[in-house]
Protein backbone atom coordinates (compact mmCIF):
# COMPACT_ATOMS: atom_id res chain seq x y z
CA UNK A 1 0.00 0.00 0.00
CA UNK A 2 1.44 3.38 -0.94
CA UNK A 3 2.42 5.75 1.87
CA UNK A 4 0.07 8.68 2.50
CA UNK A 5 3.05 10.96 3.14
CA UNK A 6 4.49 12.72 0.08
CA UNK A 7 8.06 11.92 -0.92
CA UNK A 8 10.56 14.72 -1.66
CA UNK A 9 10.48 14.01 -5.41
CA UNK A 10 6.76 14.55 -5.81
CA UNK A 11 5.91 16.50 -2.67
CA UNK A 12 4.54 19.55 -4.47
CA UNK A 13 2.18 17.57 -6.70
CA UNK A 14 0.90 15.48 -3.82
CA UNK A 15 0.47 18.55 -1.62
CA UNK A 16 -1.68 20.18 -4.29
CA UNK A 17 -3.82 17.07 -4.56
CA UNK A 18 -4.04 16.78 -0.78
CA UNK A 19 -5.02 20.41 -0.39
CA UNK A 20 -7.76 20.13 -2.98
CA UNK A 21 -9.07 17.01 -1.25
CA UNK A 22 -8.99 18.63 2.17
CA UNK A 23 -5.82 16.94 3.42
CA UNK A 24 -2.39 18.14 4.51
CA UNK A 25 0.79 16.36 5.42
CA UNK A 26 0.47 14.79 8.84
CA UNK A 27 -3.33 14.54 8.71
CA UNK A 28 -4.68 11.02 8.88
CA UNK A 29 -7.99 10.87 7.09
CA UNK A 30 -9.86 8.10 5.39
CA UNK A 31 -8.46 5.53 7.80
CA UNK A 32 -10.49 3.24 9.97
CA UNK A 33 -8.00 3.50 12.84
CA UNK A 34 -8.21 6.38 15.33
CA UNK A 35 -6.01 9.38 14.65
CA UNK A 36 -2.83 9.12 16.68
CA UNK A 37 0.20 11.22 15.88
CA UNK A 38 3.92 11.13 16.41
CA UNK A 39 4.05 14.81 17.29
CA UNK A 40 1.65 17.24 18.96
CA UNK A 41 2.35 20.98 19.03
CA UNK A 42 0.52 22.83 21.82
CA UNK A 43 0.28 26.62 21.57
CA UNK A 44 -1.55 28.78 24.16
CA UNK A 45 -2.89 32.04 22.74
CA UNK A 46 -4.14 35.17 24.46
CA UNK A 47 -4.88 38.26 22.37
CA UNK A 48 -2.63 37.21 19.47
CA UNK A 49 -4.92 38.12 16.57
CA UNK A 50 -2.15 40.03 14.78
CA UNK A 51 0.29 37.11 14.73
CA UNK A 52 -1.84 33.96 14.58
CA UNK A 53 -2.15 33.82 10.77
CA UNK A 54 1.60 34.12 10.22
CA UNK A 55 2.18 31.63 13.03
CA UNK A 56 -0.08 29.00 11.47
CA UNK A 57 1.46 29.47 8.03
CA UNK A 58 5.04 29.16 9.26
CA UNK A 59 4.23 26.26 11.57
CA UNK A 60 2.44 24.33 8.83
CA UNK A 61 5.48 24.81 6.59
CA UNK A 62 7.80 23.42 9.25
CA UNK A 63 5.63 20.40 10.03
CA UNK A 64 5.21 19.66 6.33
CA UNK A 65 8.94 18.99 6.08
CA UNK A 66 9.08 16.61 9.04
CA UNK A 67 8.84 12.84 8.57
CA UNK A 68 6.65 12.48 11.67
CA UNK A 69 2.88 12.73 11.51
CA UNK A 70 1.76 15.75 13.46
CA UNK A 71 -1.14 17.71 14.88
CA UNK A 72 -1.36 21.27 16.23
CA UNK A 73 -3.56 22.24 19.18
CA UNK A 74 -4.16 25.96 19.52
CA UNK A 75 -5.68 27.00 22.85
CA UNK A 76 -7.48 30.35 22.90
CA UNK A 77 -7.18 31.41 26.53
CA UNK A 78 -10.06 33.87 26.70
CA UNK A 79 -8.81 36.29 24.03
CA UNK A 80 -10.77 39.51 23.51
CA UNK A 81 -9.09 40.89 20.39
CA UNK A 82 -10.58 38.67 17.69
CA UNK A 83 -8.11 35.79 18.01
CA UNK A 84 -10.97 33.29 18.08
CA UNK A 85 -12.52 34.62 14.87
CA UNK A 86 -9.14 34.50 13.16
CA UNK A 87 -8.70 30.88 14.22
CA UNK A 88 -12.14 29.91 12.91
CA UNK A 89 -11.28 31.39 9.54
CA UNK A 90 -7.86 29.74 9.39
CA UNK A 91 -8.87 26.26 10.48
CA UNK A 92 -10.19 25.05 7.08
CA UNK A 93 -6.72 25.61 5.59
CA UNK A 94 -5.06 23.20 8.04
CA UNK A 95 -7.03 20.01 8.70
CA UNK A 96 -4.48 18.74 11.21
CA UNK A 97 -4.95 21.88 13.34
CA UNK A 98 -7.39 21.80 16.27
CA UNK A 99 -8.63 24.70 18.37
CA UNK A 100 -9.78 24.84 21.98
CA UNK A 101 -11.59 27.93 23.27
CA UNK A 102 -11.58 28.42 27.04
CA UNK A 103 -14.47 30.21 28.68
CA UNK A 104 -12.24 32.91 30.14
CA UNK A 105 -8.58 33.73 30.65
CA UNK A 106 -7.45 30.93 32.96
CA UNK A 107 -3.73 31.58 32.46
CA UNK A 108 -0.94 29.93 30.51
CA UNK A 109 -0.64 26.94 32.84
CA UNK A 110 -4.31 26.01 32.43
CA UNK A 111 -4.14 26.56 28.67
CA UNK A 112 -1.14 24.24 28.39
CA UNK A 113 -2.89 21.64 30.55
CA UNK A 114 -5.91 21.73 28.23
CA UNK A 115 -3.62 21.23 25.23
CA UNK A 116 -1.72 18.39 26.89
CA UNK A 117 -4.91 16.55 27.75
CA UNK A 118 -6.17 16.77 24.17
CA UNK A 119 -2.87 15.87 22.50
CA UNK A 120 -2.27 12.37 21.13
CA UNK A 121 1.36 12.65 20.03
CA UNK A 122 4.11 10.59 21.64
CA UNK A 123 6.17 13.80 21.62
CA UNK A 124 4.70 17.15 22.69
CA UNK A 125 6.14 20.51 21.63
CA UNK A 126 5.16 23.74 23.38
CA UNK A 127 5.46 27.11 21.69
CA UNK A 128 4.26 30.66 22.35
CA UNK A 129 2.03 32.39 19.83
CA UNK A 130 3.94 35.69 19.62
CA UNK A 131 6.54 34.35 17.11
CA UNK A 132 9.46 35.40 19.31
CA UNK A 133 10.42 31.73 19.39
CA UNK A 134 10.40 30.77 15.69
CA UNK A 135 8.73 27.44 14.88
CA UNK A 136 11.61 26.75 12.49
CA UNK A 137 13.63 25.62 15.55
CA UNK A 138 11.32 22.66 16.23
CA UNK A 139 13.46 20.21 14.17
CA UNK A 140 16.44 21.10 16.38
CA UNK A 141 14.55 20.06 19.51
CA UNK A 142 13.38 16.81 17.91
CA UNK A 143 16.92 15.93 16.80
CA UNK A 144 18.21 16.47 20.34
CA UNK A 145 15.33 14.47 21.79
CA UNK A 146 16.31 11.55 19.57
CA UNK A 147 19.67 11.41 21.37
CA UNK A 148 17.91 9.80 24.32
CA UNK A 149 16.58 12.75 26.29
CA UNK A 150 13.11 13.03 27.80
CA UNK A 151 12.90 16.81 27.77
CA UNK A 152 14.70 19.37 25.62
CA UNK A 153 14.41 23.01 26.65
CA UNK A 154 15.18 25.99 24.46
CA UNK A 155 17.78 28.52 25.59
CA UNK A 156 17.36 32.05 24.25
CA UNK A 157 21.06 32.89 24.10
CA UNK A 158 20.55 36.20 22.30
CA UNK A 159 17.32 37.24 23.94
CA UNK A 160 15.62 40.20 22.27
CA UNK A 161 14.01 41.74 25.35
CA UNK A 162 14.79 44.64 27.66
CA UNK A 163 17.74 43.84 29.93
CA UNK A 164 16.65 45.52 33.17
CA UNK A 165 12.98 44.55 33.16
CA UNK A 166 13.14 41.14 31.48
CA UNK A 167 16.59 39.62 31.01
CA UNK A 168 18.20 40.42 34.37
CA UNK A 169 15.23 39.29 36.54
CA UNK A 170 15.01 36.14 34.40
CA UNK A 171 18.67 35.27 34.94
CA UNK A 172 18.36 35.73 38.68
CA UNK A 173 15.20 33.60 38.77
CA UNK A 174 16.79 30.84 36.67
CA UNK A 175 19.75 30.68 39.05
CA UNK A 176 17.51 30.50 42.13
CA UNK A 177 15.23 27.86 40.58
CA UNK A 178 18.25 25.73 39.69
CA UNK A 179 19.60 26.10 43.22
CA UNK A 180 16.29 25.13 44.81
CA UNK A 181 15.31 22.27 42.52
CA UNK A 182 18.70 20.91 41.44
CA UNK A 183 17.68 21.15 37.76
CA UNK A 184 19.97 23.82 36.36
CA UNK A 185 18.85 25.46 33.12
CA UNK A 186 19.83 28.81 31.66
CA UNK A 187 16.30 29.64 30.56
CA UNK A 188 13.31 28.20 32.41
CA UNK A 189 11.09 30.85 30.84
CA UNK A 190 11.59 29.77 27.24
CA UNK A 191 8.30 28.28 26.04
CA UNK A 192 9.91 26.32 23.21
CA UNK A 193 10.32 22.85 24.72
CA UNK A 194 9.97 19.23 23.64
CA UNK A 195 8.64 16.56 25.99
CA UNK A 196 8.15 12.84 25.79
CA UNK A 197 4.60 11.98 26.72
CA UNK A 198 5.54 9.50 29.43
CA UNK A 199 7.07 12.40 31.38
CA UNK A 200 4.15 14.80 30.98
CA UNK A 201 1.57 12.19 31.95
CA UNK A 202 2.82 12.01 35.54
CA UNK A 203 2.99 15.77 36.14
CA UNK A 204 0.13 17.87 37.46
CA UNK A 205 0.57 21.63 37.28
CA UNK A 206 -1.62 24.45 38.51
CA UNK A 207 -1.46 28.17 39.18
CA UNK A 208 1.53 29.52 37.24
CA UNK A 209 3.68 26.41 37.53
CA UNK A 210 4.14 25.79 33.80
CA UNK A 211 7.59 27.41 33.86
CA UNK A 212 8.69 24.78 36.40
CA UNK A 213 7.86 21.79 34.20
CA UNK A 214 11.58 20.88 33.82
CA UNK A 215 11.91 20.88 37.62
CA UNK A 216 8.90 18.58 37.97
CA UNK A 217 10.32 16.32 35.26
CA UNK A 218 13.71 16.30 36.97
CA UNK A 219 12.08 15.19 40.22
CA UNK A 220 10.69 12.21 38.28
CA UNK A 221 14.15 11.28 36.99
CA UNK A 222 13.77 12.63 33.45
CA UNK A 223 16.86 13.14 31.28
CA UNK A 224 16.89 16.86 30.60
CA UNK A 225 19.03 19.06 28.40
CA UNK A 226 18.85 22.43 26.67
CA UNK A 227 19.95 23.78 23.31
CA UNK A 228 20.39 27.34 22.01
CA UNK A 229 17.41 28.57 20.00
CA UNK A 230 16.68 31.75 18.12
CA UNK A 231 14.73 34.61 19.63
CA UNK A 232 13.14 37.45 17.69
CA UNK A 233 11.92 40.82 18.95
CA UNK A 234 8.18 41.12 19.34
CA UNK A 235 6.80 42.99 16.33
CA UNK A 236 3.05 42.61 16.84
CA UNK A 237 0.77 42.45 19.84
CA UNK A 238 1.58 43.37 23.40
CA UNK A 239 3.71 41.48 25.90
CA UNK A 240 1.89 39.97 28.87
CA UNK A 241 4.97 39.99 31.07
CA UNK A 242 6.35 42.63 33.39
CA UNK A 243 7.71 43.16 36.87
CA UNK A 244 4.45 41.90 38.36
CA UNK A 245 5.11 38.53 36.73
CA UNK A 246 8.56 38.46 38.33
CA UNK A 247 6.88 38.83 41.73
CA UNK A 248 4.58 35.90 40.93
CA UNK A 249 7.61 33.81 39.98
CA UNK A 250 9.23 34.75 43.28
CA UNK A 251 6.20 33.51 45.20
CA UNK A 252 6.15 30.32 43.15
CA UNK A 253 9.82 29.72 43.91
CA UNK A 254 9.05 29.82 47.63
CA UNK A 255 6.57 26.96 47.24
CA UNK A 256 8.17 24.99 44.39
CA UNK A 257 10.23 22.77 46.67
CA UNK A 258 7.10 21.75 48.55
CA UNK A 259 5.07 20.80 45.48
CA UNK A 260 7.73 18.90 43.54
CA UNK A 261 6.60 15.27 43.28
CA UNK A 262 8.60 12.84 45.43
CA UNK A 263 10.84 15.63 46.73
CA UNK A 264 8.67 16.77 49.64
CA UNK A 265 7.35 14.26 52.16
CA UNK A 266 5.29 16.19 54.72
CA UNK A 267 5.24 13.48 57.37
CA UNK A 268 9.00 13.08 57.20
CA UNK A 269 9.68 16.82 57.27
CA UNK A 270 7.21 17.91 59.95
CA UNK A 271 7.32 14.58 61.78
CA UNK A 272 11.07 14.61 62.38
CA UNK A 273 10.92 18.22 63.53
CA UNK A 274 8.01 17.39 65.82
CA UNK A 275 9.73 14.34 67.28
CA UNK A 276 12.86 16.40 67.93
CA UNK A 277 10.95 19.10 69.77
CA UNK A 278 8.93 16.50 71.66
CA UNK A 279 12.11 14.69 72.74
CA UNK A 280 13.77 17.88 73.99
CA UNK A 281 10.62 18.96 75.82
CA UNK A 282 10.23 15.51 77.36
CA UNK A 283 13.86 15.51 78.53
CA UNK A 284 13.39 18.92 80.16
CA UNK A 285 10.16 17.77 81.81
CA UNK A 286 11.79 14.59 83.14
CA UNK A 287 14.71 16.55 84.52
CA UNK A 288 12.40 18.98 86.32
CA UNK A 289 10.27 16.09 87.61
CA UNK A 290 13.39 14.53 89.10
CA UNK A 291 14.30 17.80 90.84
CA UNK A 292 10.79 18.18 92.22
CA UNK A 293 10.28 14.58 93.38
CA UNK A 294 13.74 13.58 94.62
CA UNK A 295 15.38 16.93 95.44
CA UNK A 296 12.29 18.75 96.65
CA UNK A 297 13.07 21.89 94.69
CA UNK A 298 10.16 24.20 93.81
CA UNK A 299 9.44 24.69 90.11
CA UNK A 300 7.15 27.69 90.20
CA UNK A 301 10.04 30.11 89.62
CA UNK A 302 11.72 28.09 86.89
CA UNK A 303 11.11 29.32 83.29
CA UNK A 304 12.49 25.99 82.12
CA UNK A 305 9.20 24.39 83.13
CA UNK A 306 7.25 26.49 80.66
CA UNK A 307 9.81 25.80 77.94
CA UNK A 308 9.55 22.05 78.47
CA UNK A 309 5.75 22.06 78.28
CA UNK A 310 5.82 24.33 75.22
CA UNK A 311 8.24 22.04 73.36
CA UNK A 312 6.16 18.96 74.13
CA UNK A 313 2.99 20.63 72.84
CA UNK A 314 4.74 22.00 69.74
CA UNK A 315 6.24 18.59 68.99
CA UNK A 316 2.85 16.92 69.13
CA UNK A 317 1.36 19.61 66.92
CA UNK A 318 4.09 19.24 64.29
CA UNK A 319 3.62 15.46 64.16
CA UNK A 320 -0.13 15.94 63.73
CA UNK A 321 0.46 18.58 61.06
CA UNK A 322 2.75 16.16 59.21
CA UNK A 323 0.10 13.45 59.23
CA UNK A 324 -2.59 15.80 57.94
CA UNK A 325 -0.28 17.25 55.26
CA UNK A 326 0.69 13.74 54.13
CA UNK A 327 -2.96 12.78 53.70
CA UNK A 328 -3.72 16.02 51.87
CA UNK A 329 -0.74 15.57 49.55
CA UNK A 330 -1.82 12.04 48.63
CA UNK A 331 -5.36 13.23 47.93
CA UNK A 332 -4.06 16.14 45.83
CA UNK A 333 -1.75 13.95 43.74
CA UNK A 334 -4.31 11.20 43.35
CA UNK A 335 -7.30 13.10 42.05
CA UNK A 336 -8.08 15.00 38.89
CA UNK A 337 -7.95 18.76 38.95
CA UNK A 338 -10.23 20.78 36.73
CA UNK A 339 -8.19 23.94 36.20
CA UNK A 340 -10.01 25.16 33.10
CA UNK A 341 -13.36 25.09 31.34
CA UNK A 342 -13.78 24.69 27.58
CA UNK A 343 -16.37 26.72 25.73
CA UNK A 344 -15.86 25.33 22.23
CA UNK A 345 -13.73 22.85 20.29
CA UNK A 346 -12.97 22.97 16.59
CA UNK A 347 -11.20 20.42 14.40
CA UNK A 348 -11.71 17.47 16.73
CA UNK A 349 -13.36 14.45 15.17
CA UNK A 350 -14.71 11.16 16.42
CA UNK A 351 -11.39 9.62 15.43
CA UNK A 352 -9.33 12.04 17.51
CA UNK A 353 -11.61 11.58 20.50
CA UNK A 354 -11.38 7.81 20.04
CA UNK A 355 -7.60 8.08 20.00
CA UNK A 356 -7.69 9.98 23.26
CA UNK A 357 -10.01 7.36 24.71
CA UNK A 358 -7.65 4.56 23.72
CA UNK A 359 -4.81 6.53 25.26
CA UNK A 360 -6.75 6.68 28.52
CA UNK A 361 -7.36 2.94 28.51
CA UNK A 362 -3.72 2.17 27.72
CA UNK A 363 -2.53 4.40 30.56
CA UNK A 364 -5.00 2.86 33.00
CA UNK A 365 -3.73 -0.62 32.14
CA UNK A 366 -0.14 0.53 32.45
CA UNK A 367 -0.80 1.85 35.96
CA UNK A 368 -2.54 -1.39 36.89
CA UNK A 369 0.46 -3.39 35.72
CA UNK A 370 -1.34 -5.07 32.80
CA UNK A 371 -0.36 -5.09 29.16
CA UNK A 372 -2.86 -3.13 27.07
CA UNK A 373 -3.72 -6.08 24.86
CA UNK A 374 -6.93 -4.61 23.49
CA UNK A 375 -5.61 -1.09 22.99
CA UNK A 376 -3.60 0.11 20.02
CA UNK A 377 -0.75 2.35 21.05
CA UNK A 378 2.66 3.35 19.76
CA UNK A 379 5.59 1.31 20.99
CA UNK A 380 7.74 4.46 21.18
CA UNK A 381 5.55 6.31 23.66
CA UNK A 382 2.89 5.88 26.31
CA UNK A 383 -0.23 7.98 26.10
CA UNK A 384 -1.21 10.14 29.09
CA UNK A 385 -3.90 9.86 31.67
CA UNK A 386 -7.06 11.75 30.92
CA UNK A 387 -8.32 13.69 33.89
CA UNK A 388 -12.01 14.26 34.29
CA UNK A 389 -11.88 17.95 34.99
CA UNK A 390 -11.37 19.67 31.68
CA UNK A 391 -12.52 17.14 29.11
CA UNK A 392 -15.77 17.92 27.38
Q: Write the pLDDT tens digit of every residue in 187-226.
A: 998 999 999 999 998 887 877 788 899 998 998 899 999 9
How far the first Cα of the chain sits from its last, in Å, is: 36
Helix (H), strand (E) at residue 371: none
Residue 177: predicted pLDDT: 87
C-alpha 83/C-alpha 76 separation (Å) is: 7
User: pLDDT tens for residues 186-195?
Assistant: 999 899 999 9
Is-contact 190 133, C-beta < 8 A? yes
Conformation bin of residue 330: beta by default, left when phi > 0, alpha when psi is -120 to 50: alpha
C-alpha 314/C-alpha 99 separation (Å) is: 53
Alpha-carbon Rg for the chain, nearest whole angstrom, is 26
Residue 13: predicted pLDDT: 44
Query: Whole-model pTM above 0.85?
Result: no
Coil/strand/helix, residue 225: strand
Nearest to 347 by CA among 80, 124, 101, 168: 101
Helix (H), strand (E) at residue 20: helix 11-21
pLDDT above 70 as % of the chain:
72
Residue 371: predicted pLDDT: 43
**Superfamily (CATH) of domain 36-263:** Spore Coat Polysaccharide Biosynthesis Protein SpsA; Chain A (3.90.550.10)
Distance of CA 349 to the CA centre of its chain: 25
C-alpha 339/C-alpha 45 separation (Å) is: 17
Helix H, strand E, coil C: the string for 103-126 is: CCCCCHHHHHHHHHHHCCCCEEEE
Amino acid sequence: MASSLPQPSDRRAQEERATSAGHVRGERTGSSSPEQYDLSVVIPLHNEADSVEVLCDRLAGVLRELPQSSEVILVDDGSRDGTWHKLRGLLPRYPNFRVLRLRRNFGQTAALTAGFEHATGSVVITLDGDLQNPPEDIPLLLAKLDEGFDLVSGWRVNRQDGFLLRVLPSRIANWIIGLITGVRLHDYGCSLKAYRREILQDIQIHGDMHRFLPAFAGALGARITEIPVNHAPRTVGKSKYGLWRALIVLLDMISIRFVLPYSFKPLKTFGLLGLGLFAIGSAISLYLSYLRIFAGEPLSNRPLLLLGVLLVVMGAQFVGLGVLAELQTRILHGRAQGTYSILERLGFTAETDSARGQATAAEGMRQAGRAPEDVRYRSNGVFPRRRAGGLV
